[in-house]
Amino acid sequence: MKRIAVLASGRGSNVQAVIDAISAGTLRAECVRLITDNPDAHAIMRAGRAGVPVTVLDYASYASKEAYEADLFAAMTDCRADLFVLAGYMRIIGQAITDTFAGRMINIHPALLPAFAGLHAQRQAIDYGVKVAGCTVHFVDGGMDSGPIILQACVPVLETDDENSLAERILVEEHRILPAAAALFCEERIAIEGRRVRILPARD
Ligand code: GRF
């Protein structure tokens, strides 16, 4: 059974989706740790309820990003996870970590990358006037929301949408494709070929 660690900064609905997929048996893995940069993250409560151990690294208490990332690196090494799932983790991760865990870290982003990377992706989509929006699960590399894409899902943008209503519609798809991508990884069905990710057929 693969070991998954989740990283989250806030509400944690994507963490919940991973936990629920494990309980449902659609994601055959063990969630071994939640790592959060925010002591007030609601994700902590969700992990606690599921019996997942939590490491809190209070970003605000660190003197520098380097000091914080040194502890993050140690926490990630310590939990011996096969896969790190960034589930609403709101910080850019430094190169030392992305290099060390390359090919073993995935992120959910609420836009159809490469459009609308960075913060407030749903607002960016509304402001730009696109008719279709969505979400992306991708490997994490040294850039911002730039690694190879594993899964994407799209939703329509309605004329009545604002940032919140669009975000809600996208979130439904996030909760579906994030555990699905984690499951593909755990089933060893992902081959990275340059920028392209090939999904291998299921084994019997
Ligand atoms: C999600 O939309 C995620 O894609 C983005 O931030 C939001 C986090 O939501 N990066 P939650 O904490 O998983 O509920």
Q: Domains, the chain, ranges and CATH?
A: 2-199 (3.40.50.170)
CA dist list (Å): 78 to 33, 71, 82, 125, 159: 10, 10, 12, 38, 48
**Secondary structure letter of residue 94 according to DSSP:** P
Nearest CA owner, ligand 1 atom 2 = 110
By CB atoms closer than 10 A (0-12, 13-18, 19+), residue 158 is exposed
Q: Which atom of ligand 1 is nearest to the CA of 122?
A: 2
Spatial distance between the Cα atoms of 114 and 146, rounded to a whole number of angstroms: 7
Q: How far is the CA of 204 from the centre of ligand 1 (A)?
A: 34
* 33 CB-near residues (< 8 Å, 6+ apart): 5, 6, 52, 53, 54, 55, 75, 79, 81
Does the pTM exceed 0.85?
yes
Spatial distance between the Cα atoms of 98 and 4, rounded to a whole number of angstroms: 16
Spatial distance between the Cα atoms of 75 and 52, rounded to a whole number of angstroms: 14
Q: How far is the CA of 87 from the centre of ligand 1 (A)?
A: 6
Predicted confidence at residue 203, as pLDDT, reads: 83
pLDDT tens, residue order, the chain (204 aa): 999 999 999 999 999 999 999 999 999 999 999 999 999 999 999 999 999 999 999 999 999 999 999 999 999 999 999 999 999 999 999 999 999 999 999 999 999 999 999 999 999 999 999 999 999 999 999 999 999 999 999 999 999 999 999 999 999 999 999 999 999 999 999 999 999 999 999 987
Q: How far is the CA of 118 from the centre of ligand 1 (A)?
A: 12
> Is 120 one of the catalytic residues?
no
Residue owning tokens 């629920």: 20
Q: Which of 171, 173, 178 to mutate to test the pocket of ligand 1 (most atoms within 8 A of CB)?
A: 171
Residue owning tokens 């982003």: 109
Nearest CA owner, ligand 1 atom 5 = 88
Q: Evaluate whether 15 touches 43 at the Cβ level (below 8 Å).
A: yes
